[in-house]
């Protein structure tokens, strides 16, 4: 806000020539010199407050501002103290032109994210495009008139040309610095860019007006220098107040619209100006043609580089998508705990095994392995220890197999091993025995030794489907468990009949949840009911401890419930009683004949 007020006061003063030309000249020189000194002080302050990576930039920019302030002071000394017109070549030019290499060095030393290869080439092309565009505009509007102006010595002409050429170089370096600077650190550099752009406009206007003899101190073109110094001072102050901003943050997307406009807007303006010159029938000299041609070539090279970058980016994205797809496919087909193939992949591998066996007339095999007593490990040591044990088991099993074999985890403590008939050099039984022996060595899980065994069911030969082969291996595993665990069993068809016999013993007519006597208002005890034939305690009935059931009404004289389904009456034959037994009672009768699968 203060900077805007200063600029407004300056414009008003020089426009109205308040106090006459002498006062106007003095005010102009004093305000521009003071603004340049203020910019130098602010830059040195920013250098003091920042660490080494930014200190060098602000020191060099402060020196450039100090050189400009020297030029302003010398210019004012000529006009105010000596009361004479500043000559075409003076010590003021030393200060002005000496600031250009200092500002250029500051921009070159501006820290940015390290880049190599394509990013550096892109930044260089962007800078050259902007520099060529600025040079083209300067040639059409200013430099051409300066070169063809009569009465100027070669040295004076060179000095006059050095101003816009130096500004073009600085603007190009600013574009390169902006392209390599993260968004979080661009505010300060943006103010510097604004100041240098204003200075470029002011210098070009000064050179043109000087060439045609129309410049005098107090001209509105002097506002450009005041704005330039104030903008650079604001950039330095912003850097002081935001010194925590990191310049090593990631650079924003290289394809941003802002950057494209920064590079191509000057190029379009320059080419439009050159085209307008040609259309108006102006003289097309060699410098104009070379500048236009060079700018066009640079733009084409920049576009070719952009196409190459896009192709590289597309290939990178495709590679990442493929890698992510492979990762998701692996996660979908492999067990998360052990990294082994899961059920889906195992079934697919079995189908392949069966198809290969049919083609080559060989007999593959499926081994269904189950750890004995794993539930005890989980219950006593916790699931975390159980998971570590499963991982260790998977590693040890894999060490006992060939590369051609497939080891997978079905879930829980169940593993499946697939053996290709083409690759078998020993019998399947020997391999199963070797796997059992591999697990005999105790595991050490977090310093705790754990001993565990395994049972294996084996199924070999062709089947109609993968599910059939796996089912038969599971049936053989069931048999190995029933025979005492820590062994293997090969599938035989009669094993299936034994399974069916056991399943036939299981009850199928379970009562609804609210059918029994469990909802008596007091706890019920099971008392033995003796058969009238063998007096054995084979049946049980419920005896109430209170006098009333919540639904069945009063209890009997001895505190028992009225007779109901599955409850024996005195003198009732056992044969009739058997017909009225509840499912749970029948299950207890058959307990000795029907047993569940051992674990």
Rg of the chain taking only CA atoms, in angstroms = 47
Q: How far apart are CA 284 and CA 277, in angstroms?
A: 8
Closest CA to 33 of 93, 79, 78, 75: 75
| Cα 390 to chain centroid, rounded | 32
Are 392 and 478 a contacting pair, CB within 8 Å?
no
521, 549, 558 from 554: Cα distances, Å = 12, 6, 11
Closest CA to 92 of 105, 82, 107: 82
254, 447, 448, 590 from 318: Cα distances, Å = 19, 46, 47, 65
- State whether residue 443 is helix, strand or coil: strand
Are 270 and 168 a contacting pair, CB within 8 Å?
no
Residues recognised as catalytic: 413
Give the DSSP H or E segment for 14: helix 2-16
Give the DSSP H or E segment for 3: helix 2-16
Q: How far apart are CA 82 and CA 12, in angstroms?
A: 26
What is the residue-wise DSSP string for 25-68? HHHHHHHHHHHHHHHHHHHHHHHHHS-HHHHHHHHHHHHHHHHH
CB count within 10 Å of CB 554 equals 10
Q: Are strands 443-445 and 406-411 parallel, antiparallel or unpaired?
A: unpaired
Written as six digits, the tokens of 584 are: 């749970």
Distant-in-sequence, close-in-space partners of 422: CB < 8 Å, separation ≥ 6:
356, 360, 362
Phi-psi map region of 447: left, alpha, beta (phi>0 left; psi -120 to 50 alpha): left
Written as six digits, the tokens of 535 are: 């007096």
């Amino acid at each position: 806000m203060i900077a805007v007020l200063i600029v407004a006061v300056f414009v008003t003063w020089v426009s109205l020539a308040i106090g006459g030309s002498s006062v106007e000249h003095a005010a102009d020189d004093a305000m521009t010199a003071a603004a340049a000194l203020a910019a130098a002080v602010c830059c040195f302050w920013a250098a003091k407050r920042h660490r080494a990576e930014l200190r060098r930039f602000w020191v060099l920019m402060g020196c450039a501002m100090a050189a400009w302030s020297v030029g302003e002071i010398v210019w004012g000394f000529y006009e105010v103290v000596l009361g004479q017109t500043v000559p075409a070549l003076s010590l003021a030019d030393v200060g002005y032109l000496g600031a250009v290499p200092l500002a250029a060095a500051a921009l070159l030393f501006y820290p940015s994210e390290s880049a190599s290869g394509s990013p550096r080439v892109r930044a260089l092309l962007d800078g050259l495009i902007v520099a060529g565009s600025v040079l083209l505009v300067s040639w059409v509007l200013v430099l051409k008139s300066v070169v063809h102006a009569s009465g100027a010595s070669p040295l004076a002409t060179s000095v006059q040309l050095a101003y816009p050429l130096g500004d073009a170089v600085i603007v190009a370096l600013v574009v390169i610095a902006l392209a390599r600077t993260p968004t979080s650190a661009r505010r300060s550099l943006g103010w510097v860019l604004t100041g240098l752009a204003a200075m470029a406009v002011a210098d070009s206007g000064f050179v043109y007006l000087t060439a045609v003899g129309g410049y005098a101190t107090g001209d509105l073109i002097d506002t450009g220098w005041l704005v330039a110094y104030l903008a650079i001072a604001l950039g330095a102050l912003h850097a002081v107040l935001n010194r925590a901003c990191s310049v090593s943050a990631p650079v924003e997307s290289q394809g941003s619209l802002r950057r494209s406009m920064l590079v191509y807007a000057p190029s379009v303006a320059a080419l439009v100006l050159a085209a307008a010159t040609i259309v108006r029938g102006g003289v097309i000299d060699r410098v104009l043609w070379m500048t236009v041609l060079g700018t066009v070539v640079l733009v084409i090279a920049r576009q070719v580089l952009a196409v190459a970058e896009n192709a590289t980016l597309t290939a990178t994205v495709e590679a990442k998508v493929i890698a992510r797809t492979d990762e998701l496919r692996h996660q979908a087909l492999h067990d998360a705990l052990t990294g082994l193939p899961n059920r889906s992949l195992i079934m697919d591998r079995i189908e392949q095994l069966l198809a290969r066996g049919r083609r080559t007339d060989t007999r593959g095999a499926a081994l269904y392995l189950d750890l004995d007593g794993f539930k005890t490990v989980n219950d006593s040591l916790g699931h975390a220890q159980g998971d570590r044990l499963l991982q260790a088991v998977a590693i040890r099993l894999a060490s006992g197999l060939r590369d051609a074999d497939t080891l997978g985890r079905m879930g829980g403590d169940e593993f499946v091993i697939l053996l290709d008939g083409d690759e078998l050099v020993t019998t399947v039984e020997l391999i199963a025995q070797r796997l059992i022996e591999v697990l005999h060595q105790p595991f050490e899980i977090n310093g705790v030794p754990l001993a565990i065994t395994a049972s294996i069911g084996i199924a070999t030969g062709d089947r109609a489907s993968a599910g059939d082969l796996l089912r038969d291996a599971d049936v053989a595993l069931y048999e190995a468990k029933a025979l005492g665990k820590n062994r293997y069993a090969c599938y035989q068809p009669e094993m299936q009949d034994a399974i069916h016999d056991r399943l036939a013993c299981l009850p199928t007519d379970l009562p609804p949840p609210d059918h029994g006597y469990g909802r008596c208002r007091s706890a019920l005890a099971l008392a033995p009911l003796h058969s009238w034939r063998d007096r054995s305690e084979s049946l049980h009935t419920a005896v109430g401890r209170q006098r009333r059931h919540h639904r069945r009404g009063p209890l009997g004289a001895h505190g028992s419930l009225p007779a109901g389904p599955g409850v024996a009456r005195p003198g009732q034959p056992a044969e009739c009683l058997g017909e009225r037994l509840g499912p749970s009672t029948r299950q207890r009768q058959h307990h000795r004949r029907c047993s569940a699968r051992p674990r």
